[in-house]
Chains A and B, each alone.
Chain A
Amino acid sequence: MLTVENLNVYYGGIHALKGVSFQVRQREIVTLIGANGAGKTTTLKTISGLVRARNGKISYQDRDISSTPAHIIARDGLCHVPEGRRVFANMTVAENLALGAYHRRDQQGIKRDLEWVYELFPRLAERRQQLAGTLSGGEQQMLAIGRGLMSHPRLLLLDEPSMGLAPLLVREIFEIVKQINASGMTVLLVEQNAHMALSVADTAYVLETGRIVFSGPAREVAANKQVREAYLGA
């Protein structure tokens, strides 16, 4: 579904991604784990078109999207839920969700997805007229994911959904990621919380200072001695 080949990204003089290659197959949960500054967020931003690669190729559904503008990529069913939630703070929950469906015209489908999102996150339904900025961190994360789902994506990129959340909430969010995936959506998950990420993912890639250093089925990656020492604290 998504193939990234030999991606090189620079920020000014800093070589942020050094020949990153990986693959996401349909209906999988793929996770990209690594320390702060390893290039996880940069990878997602490059895929969704917010950052341009100097070279390399990104194919999504067999089409090269390396130079497609971000808003066109978003309209094509590739949805990026950014790090730090980035909800539109002085707009209501309902308005945020409506913006998620900005490019859609199928009113029936939008309505169905809205019901689905409110079902996944009942707390959003309770707070639909509340300003997004007044929500708690966990609720904002739910809103960010819900807003992403409103675009009815085929591929969902999630950047650090667990960031700054209490352990109980983290588990709740990951439970929902699994549900979303079970509904047929492919997920590319970026996480610092390697433990949680590896427990839900099918395939995992370990990113270290801009390079993929290790990859394989999530179970094998979780069992690897070096990965355990470096990322799982064991």
Chain B
Amino acid sequence: MQEVIQQLVNGISLGSIYGLIALGYTMVYGIIRLINFAHGDIYMIGAFVGYFAIRNFNLSFLPALLVAMAVCAALGTAIERLAYRPLRNSTRIAALITAIGVSFLIQNAALLAWTPDPRSYPDVFPLRTYEIGGVFVDNRQITILSVAVALMVVLHYIVNFTQIGRAMRAVAIDADTARLMGIDVDRVISFTFALGSALAAAAGVLVGIYYNRIEPTMGAMPGLKAFVAAVLGGIGVIPGAMLGGLVMGVAEVAVVALTASTWKDAVAFAILIVILLVKPAGLLGRQVREKV
């Protein structure tokens, strides 16, 4: 029993990171129907920005987190402006291929700038482990969980209770009608990229602290897994991304505990295949027919 709870704690920590990344996928998809494959690399950049902020500028955890989020928000907006906006009216496959291209570009630029060698994340807070009824929880897991929950609450508030959030939902439902309401659709799309990228950056910093290791190619696998999480929850559905992330995290940890760690990545794609076969709209998604 203790073992189960222990794995659950580990799974939820990992899952909340997947959830944060998945939110960016799902928000961008919801609004412009694009799978932004560069999203995982934005997460990587976030981890590096946090790394330099802590190591070179001596910032503590929270300021470093905010700097990483701000830099990535700007980066995400810039990518949308330069790479995706010119393709807004072309086929979806053109934008998708561009997204893969942007991903390679960022990843290789990072390899060039920072070398492929992994770096160990600076110690922002010394590891402290607490034992609660035989279950071990450390302060890093607590940090990850509380930051993730706080960000999700803020996001929920923005999307549901602010003017710009209402505009985001309106554009996601029907962009042309949103225009008729005086909504500047381009601005709303920029804002969505900024928001999603900031969340990915936060996930990057949290992962750096949790695993204490970052490298330029670190975005690829979590990026794909978070994408699966978004599909699992129902792509375009914001609470679905959080749920999908948690399910993925717990499933991954459970598989590693029960079998071997080599199955760690396979489980994500097994989940993808199963969900596409059984419930393609995702756990919280509604079946919608594609508009022609």
Secondary structure of the B side of the interface? helix
Are B177 and A102 neighbours in the complex by a CB distance under 8 Å? no
Name the residue of chain B whose CB is nearest to the CB of A100.
Answer: B181
Are A71 and B173 neighbours in the complex by a CB distance under 8 Å? no
Given contact pairs A88-B173, A89-B173, A91-B173, A71 touches B184 in the complex (Cβ within 8 A): yes
The residues in A between 32 and 87 inclusive whose CB is less than 8 angstroms from any CB of B are: 48-50, 69-72, 74-75, 79-80, 82, 86
For the complex, what is the distance from the CA of A102 to the CA of B171, rounded to whole Å? Answer: 13
Name the residue of chain A whose CB is nearest to the CB of B160.
Answer: A95
Binds A, one of B63-71, B129-137, B161-169, B261-269: B161-169
Are B180 and A48 neighbours in the complex by a CB distance under 8 Å? yes
A151 within 8 Å of B (CB atoms): yes
Are B182 and A74 neighbours in the complex by a CB distance under 8 Å? yes
Are A80 and B180 neighbours in the complex by a CB distance under 8 Å? yes
Shortest distance between the CB of A66 and any CB in chain B (Å)? 16
Name the residue of chain A whose CB is nearest to the CB of B184.
Answer: A71
Are A95 and B166 neighbours in the complex by a CB distance under 8 Å? yes
The residues in B between 149 and 193 inclusive whose CB is less than 8 angstroms from any CB of A are: 163, 166-167, 169-170, 173-174, 176-185
A98 within 8 Å of B (CB atoms): yes
Are A88 and B183 neighbours in the complex by a CB distance under 8 Å? no
Given contact pairs A95-B166, A99-B167, A102-B163, A82 touches B173 in the complex (Cβ within 8 A): no
CB contact between A102 and one of B174, B176, B181 (< 8 Å): that residue:
B181
For the complex, what is the distance from the CA of A72 to the CA of B199, rounded to whole Å? Answer: 31
Given contact pairs A88-B173, A91-B169, A95-B166, A102 touches B183 in the complex (Cβ within 8 A): yes
Given contact pairs A95-B166, A98-B166, A102-B163, A50 touches B173 in the complex (Cβ within 8 A): no
A90 within 8 Å of B (CB atoms): yes
Are A50 and B167 neighbours in the complex by a CB distance under 8 Å? no
Give the size of the chain B interface in residues (CB under 8 angstroms).
17
Give the size of the chain A interface in residues (CB under 8 angstroms).
25
| Chain B residues with CB below 8 A from A98, complex form | 166
Name the residue of chain B whose CB is nearest to the CB of A88.
Answer: B173
For the complex, what is the distance from the CA of A77 to the CA of B177, rounded to whole Å? Answer: 15
The residues in B between 53 and 89 inclusive whose CB is less than 8 angstroms from any CB of A are: none
A211 within 8 Å of B (CB atoms): no
Name the residue of chain B whose CB is nearest to the CB of A144.
Answer: B177
| Chain B residues with CB below 8 A from A49, complex form | 179
Name the residue of chain B whose CB is nearest to the CB of A86.
Answer: B177
| Chain A residues with CB below 8 A from B170, complex form | 88, 91, 99
| Chain A residues with CB below 8 A from B179, complex form | 49-50, 69-71, 74
For the complex, what is the distance from the CA of A100 to the CA of B178, rounded to whole Å? Answer: 9
| Chain B residues with CB below 8 A from A100, complex form | 181
Given contact pairs A88-B173, A90-B173, A70 touches B167 in the complex (Cβ within 8 A): no
Are B184 and A82 neighbours in the complex by a CB distance under 8 Å? no
Are A71 and B167 neighbours in the complex by a CB distance under 8 Å? no
| Chain A residues with CB below 8 A from B181, complex form | 71, 74, 99-100, 102-103, 147, 151
| 6 further contact pairs, Cβ within 8 A, besides A69-B184, A86-B176 | A50-B179, A71-B179, A82-B177, A82-B180, A91-B173, A99-B166
A-B contact pairs, 26 of them (CB 8 A): A50-B179, A69-B184, A70-B176, A71-B179, A71-B181, A71-B182, A71-B184, A72-B182, A82-B176, A86-B176, A86-B177, A88-B173, A90-B173, A95-B166, A98-B166, A99-B167, A99-B178, A99-B183, A102-B163, A102-B166, A102-B167, A102-B181, A102-B182, A103-B181, A151-B181, A151-B182
A residues touching B (Cβ–Cβ < 8 Å)?
48-50, 69-72, 74-75, 79-80, 82, 86, 88-91, 95, 98-100, 102-103, 147, 151
Nearest first, the 7 closest Cβ-Cβ pairs linking A and B are A103-B182, A74-B182, A70-B179, A86-B177, A75-B182, A102-B181, A71-B184
